[in-house]
Chain A
Amino acid sequence: MTNIAIVGTGQTAHARRRLDVSQAGLAREAVMEALADAGLTMADIDSVVVASGPAMFGAVNQPEKWLVDALGARFKPVVRVTSGGGTGLAGALAAMNQIKGGVAKRVLVVAYDKLSEGALQASISTLYDPFWGREFAVGIMGFSAAYWRARMDRLGHTEEAAAMVAVKNRANSMLNPKAHVKKEVTVEEVLASKPLCWPIKVLDVPPISDGACAVILAAEGDAEAITSTPAWIRGMAYYSEADNAAHRSMLQSEPLKIAAAKVYRASGVTNPRRQFDVAEVQEPYTCFELSYYEGLGLCPEGGAAELIASGATQMTGDIPVNPSGGCMGANPIGATALIRLAEAAMQVTGKAGAHQIQGAELGLVQAGGGWANLRGVAVVGSTKD
């Protein structure tokens, strides 16, 4: 099978509110940076995949139809893949298939959300079936807090352990020029912060951001001609789980495990903790990062609290997780998954600047969305295999 590489990445200056650009202008900003990174222009791009969160976030239905002018994509194939918070990775997967399937050589993926423009929790609450629980919904915060509470009892994912995730990711954000939340916190401050949906407290929650990310993919042969530092995609998958299937366990995410198993098989990963040099995971709340440690096999089930406490996932640890700061530094929901992929690509090509993990060669990416029932995993490397 054809190997696919990331040949350019770009991100906007993420912010709580960008008043200088429209949704379309925001997406363009990331695209221009990715094109410049790859040394390409839109004329070199065969096809565009737009990924963004639910259209109700921004009051524009099928926003790619508006974005096309800002992307300079007239008369090109433009399609939008939407899959909640993980949509950027789902979009990248669609782009990979376009290249491997022979309908495009170079595909631009652009993911964005401009969350300052809408009523976020009200919007996300419409995820719920109007007949089944929507009136109790708090976006997915009530749900996420509930299953964290359950994992506390069963897997030892304590409030302290989650607070350490907040402390780590906020500290890492200080080194990331694209992150807009620049404030370090302590475990005590997180624990004492205001409960929103207990056990989720305000410092367990990432910011609400305006931001976009763009990634350009190309096939083996072409990729090396475009850049001397391609980041090779060793595997990528995006799995789902029926939201109210019988005996759905939310203690461990089944679709995450299935996706990880498939991608690890494709990329020859048998010992994730040892083989990966760096991981970028999409943590909509601190508690999810703990859960992903286990789902991704970075530690055994029930071992997440110990893993974070050991310091192994710190910048200086043996498996740094979210050197970018993750969602804690910037959280434009629809873009966050693609940001994780771009950050991992930057790491394995030595382009991460102040938050570079020295010598990183193999990176793990995780993303997800919906009702914790859409889960994607990718592996990127500095070499093809």
Chain B
Amino acid sequence: MNVQTVSVLLSFILILALAAVFLRVRGLAHEGRDYAPVQGNAYRIRAFGFWFLILVGLPISIWLFRENPYTAEAAAPQVINVTGYQWYWELDQSEVAAGVPVEFRVTSADVNHGFGIYDAAGTLVAQTQAMPGYVNRLTHVFETPGTYQVLCLEYCGLVHHNMIAEIVVTEGGSDG
């Protein structure tokens, strides 16, 4: 299961759970009861929710941050320099080996673009912004050989939807 699928399932499950709570409140609203006990319960749920989010959720959020793309690995064996232009990509090399880290050094010659790498099945696997005056370093390991596409993921004007390039990922070079 890829990250997208996990995200969508998690979100939809939480939204459905929330919907169930709302439906219950809606269904029981016609029963007139004293507010005090209802409110007491709500305060208890609130306290529980608060501590749950602090003690369980917060550590998870912090723990998830350890996996971030910002600390570029030292000297990746393969480097590709990427420049975005209105409206095409310039890659100084478009063939890489699978299984070996590739460092993309991404910048732009004009406006902001978004360097998004899509696999052969059309799934977004990694991205970084292409910004004038800055070089963003994105390290990615292509697991499967094949033809990947680069799509633009930052709105850059009239032909934003047609800024497409290809990267061919070959077998070999891999020792695991």
Q: Indicate whether A and B interact.
A: no
Residues of B near any A CB (own CB < 8 A): none
Residues of A near any B CB (own CB < 8 A): none
